[in-house]
Amino acid sequence: MKIAGIIKSSLIDYPEKASTVIFLGGCNFRCGYCHNPELLHFQDETTQDDAISASGEGINIENLLSFLRSRKRFIDAVCISGGEPTLNRELPLLIGRIKALGLAVKLDTNGSNPKMLTDLLKNGLVDYVAMDIKAPADKYEQVIRNPADLKAIKASAQLLKDAHSQEGFACEFRTTVCKELLSERDIERMLKEYPEAPPWYLQRFHNPGNILDNEGQYSAYPAEEMERLGKRLCVSVR
């Protein structure tokens, strides 16, 4: 297992913590608005940061851990993003080694692997989980452009909901909102499908220029429109 990319320091990826963000390759979804298309087929061949990669073929775990050790004075946490991190069977092992350094761990997930999520929660390996809810059930496959295991996604959402309400576990749901993919009615229906959810953020779509489907003509709702929507539906917008 190798790390496909890294942001050495971030103040925005883990709420109220300074973190290093690492990206694991591979994903079972193909969202057209994906900001990390180069990670979807990553097979330990590329890296976004040769500075801590001895081989130039992804960041070796030992190199990552020694980098984190050297940064411990400056960071509180590591965010594990992707791609879809839970596709990596060695994820619990990697997290265990990161936590042994005394760092908190946040996981970004699309919710497709409730079994891995159960293990991570049960073993206290994650301190924060951000899960994507992509769309209402009947539009899921249109948005992720792959077969959707809705049962798995619902099971992951339920796990987080229970951990949040019963143990105060820190987590969030988040939804990227593209005008062409989700109508106001779709968002309303989606929120109803997950009642009593943990904090939920609607993220206004933006295109950094290299999204997976640049032909998709995706666009954002105007900021005022999103604010109005957030207020009406009682969800946060960012």
In the complex with ligand SF4, the residue whose CB is nearer, 58 or 83, is 83
Classify residue 90 by burial, with Cβ atoms within 10 Å: 0-12, 13-18, 19+: exposed
Which range of residues in 81-89, 92-100, 114-122, 181-189 is near ligand SF4 by CB under 6 A?
A: 81-89
In the complex with ligand SF4, the residue whose CB is nearer, 13 or 84, is 84
In the complex with ligand SF4, the residue whose CB is nearer, 84 or 127, is 84
CB 20 within 8 A of CB 81: no
Q: Which of 1, 8, 10, 30 binds ligand SF4 (CB under 6 A)?
A: 30
Q: Which of 5, 83, 85, 198 binds ligand SF4 (CB under 6 A)?
A: 83
Residue 114 binding ligand SF4, by CB under 6 A? no
Q: Which of 19, 47, 86, 110 binds ligand SF4 (CB under 6 A)?
A: 110
Say how far apart CA 171 and CA 113 lie, in whole Å. 16
Residue 27 binding ligand SF4, by CB under 6 A? yes
Residue type, 54: A
Half-sphere exposure of 31 (CA within 13 A, CB side): 27
172 forms bridges with which residues in the sheet? 130
Residue 99 binding ligand SF4, by CB under 6 A? no
**77 to each of 11, 14, 59, 102, 139, how far by Cα in Å?**
10, 8, 18, 8, 35
60 forms bridges with which residues in the sheet? 2
Residue type, 150: L
Residue 139 binding ligand SF4, by CB under 6 A? no
CA 179 to chain CA centroid, Å, is 21
Cβ at position 181, least distance to ligand SF4 in Å? 12
Longest dimension (CA), the chain: 51
Two tokens at 11? 């103040």
Say how far apart CA 154 and CA 172 lie, in whole Å. 14
Which range of residues in 17-25, 26-34, 167-175, 222-230 is near ligand SF4 by CB under 6 A?
A: 26-34
Which range of residues in 32-40, 55-63, 93-101, 181-189 is near ligand SF4 by CB under 6 A?
A: 32-40
Cβ at position 139, least distance to ligand SF4 in Å? 14
In the complex with ligand SF4, the residue whose CB is nearer, 41 or 122, is 41
Residue 34 binding ligand SF4, by CB under 6 A? yes
Can you give the C-alpha Rg of the chain in angstroms? 18
In the complex, the residues that contact ligand SF4 under the rule CB under 6 A are: 27, 29-31, 34, 36, 40, 82-84, 110
